[in-house]
Amino acid sequence: ERISWEVDHSDSVAGPLVISDVRVFGVGARPSHLLLNGERWTTGDWHYDDATREVKMFDLAIPILENFELYWSYNLVLKLPCPLSYGDWSETDPVTEDLCLERNCVWDRSSQVSCSLPPLTDYGFVFHDGLVEKTSDGFLTVLRKLGASLYPDQVETITFQAFLYSDDTVRLKFYHDGERGYEVPLEVRVPVSGAKNPLYEVVLPSKHIPGDTFFFYVVRKDTGTILFDTRIGGLTLTKQFLSISSTLPSKNVYGLGENAHDSFRHDLGGKTWPIFARDQGPLPGVRVSVPG
């Protein structure tokens, strides 16, 4: 679905004006992403309201005298770069087809991401027995690995559990029943009131029979904004490497990790930001982890 804006005349008075916000009514379901002139739009914010079936877009900043088209789609297809940086490979080495396939990733020379992770339907986890068990403060389900391993010691089965601690606090955890993984040995004080009227919803696929692809996303109920969305794929759980990916609901991301950056709000224009502290000082022009 789409909307188009075409300018049939020029007006010098309108020249400095820009289109900032757009509201589209009658959108029957929550889109997965927006496209502006054929490119995925990530520079502004948008929300979907389930109650009014309305898409609200903010901070478009489109000059009013320019033609443009806005599309919204319900199927998110993004290519995640294959994590090559282990073994004897470094970021200064070229990425080759042989190396990509050796890592069990997907090679496409014509794509902007030439070596990418397999898509969600071929890599990640699936429902093991299809059961979603209710717990005293949430739910859990058992998952089974899908696809070839990218790293050694891949965990074959894992439990995903949601802890709904309060109306505004939720904890999502992956753990291996047969072998306890490392956890920071600190006591975390969590709310004990329980979620009576949670402001959020943890959503699983509508069908979860054995072998069905697993993903989840977290929705803010009052606006329909998807806060965390793993439908992008790339979930990797091994004994020494963990990776989970999500699209972002907003460009307003602050304070992520211990790193040097030029502005308070993070620049998300195709950059990778480290999030863990490291015993080294800031380096000019280099995005590295620094002491916490």
Could you report the per-residue pLDDT of 55-105, keeping only the tens digit for each? 888 888 888 888 888 887 776 667 888 877 655 666 667 788 988 898 889
What is the structure's pLDDT at 50?
Answer: 74
- Residue 7, pLDDT > 70, answer no
Report whether pLDDT(177) > 80. Answer: no
Lowest-pLDDT range of 75-84, 106-115, 193-202: 75-84
Which of residues 116 and 180 earns the better pLDDT score?
116
Place of tokens 């959108």: 27
Q: What is the pLDDT of residues 24-47, one digit of tens each?
A: 888 887 777 777 787 766 666 777
Place 185 in a pLDDT band, splitting at 50, 70 and 90.
confident
